[in-house]
Amino acid sequence: MFGNLLKKELKELLNLYSILFITILAAVYGMLGQAIGSAEKSVPKTPTIALINKDNSQLGQFVDEFFQKSAKIVYTGDSKDQAMRTLEASKGIALIVIPRNFSTSILSGIKEQLEVIWIAKGTGLMDNSGHSALYQQLEALKRAITQSLLQGGYRGIDPDVLLDPFQLKEETTIRNLRVQGPPSLVIGTIQSRSSMIPVLVLMLIMMSGMTVISSMGMEKENRTLETLLTLPVSRNHIVLSKIVASAVTGLILASIYMVGMVFYMRPFSFQIPDEMKQMLSLGGMDYALFGLSLFFALMAGLSLFVVLASFAKDYRSSQGLAFPVTMLGIVPMLLTMFKDYVTLPFALKVLVFLIPFTHPMIAMKELMLNNQSLVILGILYSAAFSVGFVALATRIYNSERILVGKTKSKKEISWPILRLILRKFRKV
């Protein structure tokens, strides 16, 4: 008895579509894992740096020799601009400048500043993994200087300077921006202003998508769609009214959600220096672009949901159809947490670009980094995607597919029969 019931339940729940979608999703996650793993492996243990040594005396030479042994130095001249260009070309991570009076100051008991200009490739967790290796070496350098001073008999130096002979004067270059401060603070600032965006976009897509797909499922289950389709009203209007109503509902729900999130995030941004806040702030045009990006991604998502809804037989099956689209939103959300869009491998870049939900997820970050062109390209793509899928949805709603589902045509059926006949013919 139980077996009989179990068999029936499994038959209802485990269908070809659900297994297929999960398989595809597992493959995508596998690809993501591979990409992230390969990025981790590609981080060299020896950091690539440029070094400008303005101090030819004792400690300047010591630092120079230290990095000659522990790092790969790609530039050793006097020009910062040339050094930065060489670093960019050789995928280096920082320029270290030893100031003119480095040795004299420390030996006189004055703490010196070592200038470090970092190159941040992106704002993802995996984008700047090489930085930590250089931070470790800078700490090792401090210990080595202390040891050298102690061995050299410089015991009269202020113990505070002896144990911690220099401080870092850090600047960070990210894309075309150069900001005062360590990369962690710069990236942290960008993250604090954009990290909730992917979650918001996903919430918005889920809320609006579930609304539209449930509405279609209910129309089919209650048999109200059939009546609606025989009324003197354009079927385009039926499709558009569903999409727009769901978009408005989604926007209202997401706005309420965001009010809570703003209050939640406020305490985390008080440590950001005003100068950095100003440099990474957005203008009116940027907000307009972000709004457009969000709107068109939402429209694209909803038009996709409406097309999928045509496969729904009832309310229950419509819920299952919403799942793959939601998963599609999770892929760019997770990926952009680990790596910036621009630092992704080409194949993943293409794949992620094709998902319309990616664009508002990365828009805020890209706008802060003055990369408006990628945001505009994303808006154009999402708009084209929306138009295409609304047209497809309208076509489906104008056809009988919406009522009777897909039926095999005689042509489709005849192929296997034809193959069977040919096989038999060959045997003969």
Partner 1 sequence: MAVDAVIVDALVKDYGSFRALKGISFTVQQGEVFGLIGPNGAGKTTTLRIISTLLKPSSGNVRVFEFDVVRQGKEVRKIISYLPEDAGAHKDLKGIDYLRFMARFFASDTVELERIVQRGIEIADLGDRIYDKVKTYSKGMVRRLLVARALMTEPQLAILDEPTSGLDVINAWEVRKIIRNFAAQGHTVLLSSHNMLEVEFTCDRIALINNGEIVEGGTPKELKEKYNAQNIEEVFVEVVKCSATF
Binding site for partner 1 (CB under 8 A): 222-224, 226-227, 229-233, 399-400, 403-404, 407-410, 412-413
Place of tokens 């339940």: 9
Which DSSP helix (H) or strand (E) runs through 232? none
Closer to partner 1 by Cβ: residue 48 or 317: 317
SS3 label, residue 115: strand
- Give least dist CB 220 to partner 1, A: 10
Any residues with CB less than 8 A from the CB of 398 and at least 6 apart, and which? 235
CA pair distance 314, 223, nearest whole angstrom: 9
- Give least dist CB 228 to partner 1, A: 9
DSSP-based helix, strand, coil % in the chain, nearest 5: 70, 10, 20
Token representation of residue 69: 């042994």
CA pair distance 168, 163, nearest whole angstrom: 15
Closer to partner 1 by Cβ: residue 275 or 314: 314
Let me know if 207 is exposed, middle or buried by CB neighbors in 10 A (0-12, 13-18, 19+).
Answer: middle
Closer to partner 1 by Cβ: residue 74 or 229: 229
Closer to partner 1 by Cβ: residue 223 or 266: 223
- Give least dist CB 272 to partner 1, A: 48
SS3 label, residue 311: coil
**Residue 304, CB-side half-sphere exposure with 13 Å CA sphere:** 25
Closer to partner 1 by Cβ: residue 45 or 223: 223
Any residues with CB less than 8 A from the CB of 311 and at least 6 apart, and which? 317, 321, 405
Closer to partner 1 by Cβ: residue 222 or 271: 222
- Give least dist CB 253 to partner 1, A: 18
Nearest-5° angle of CA 292, CA 122, CA 41?
Answer: 135
- Give least dist CB 382 to partner 1, A: 32
- Give least dist CB 245 to partner 1, A: 13
Contact 258, 345 (CB under 8 A): no
Contact 193, 368 (CB under 8 A): yes
- Give least dist CB 257 to partner 1, A: 24
- Give least dist CB 310 to partner 1, A: 14
CA pair distance 255, 338, nearest whole angstrom: 27
Helices (H), 152-283: 159-163, 183-194, 196-221, 225-229, 235-265, 274-279
Closer to partner 1 by Cβ: residue 269 or 399: 399
Closer to partner 1 by Cβ: residue 216 or 352: 216
- Give least dist CB 288 to partner 1, A: 36
CA pair distance 301, 326, nearest whole angstrom: 9
Closer to partner 1 by Cβ: residue 153 or 232: 232
- Give least dist CB 311 to partner 1, A: 17
Closer to partner 1 by Cβ: residue 184 or 249: 249
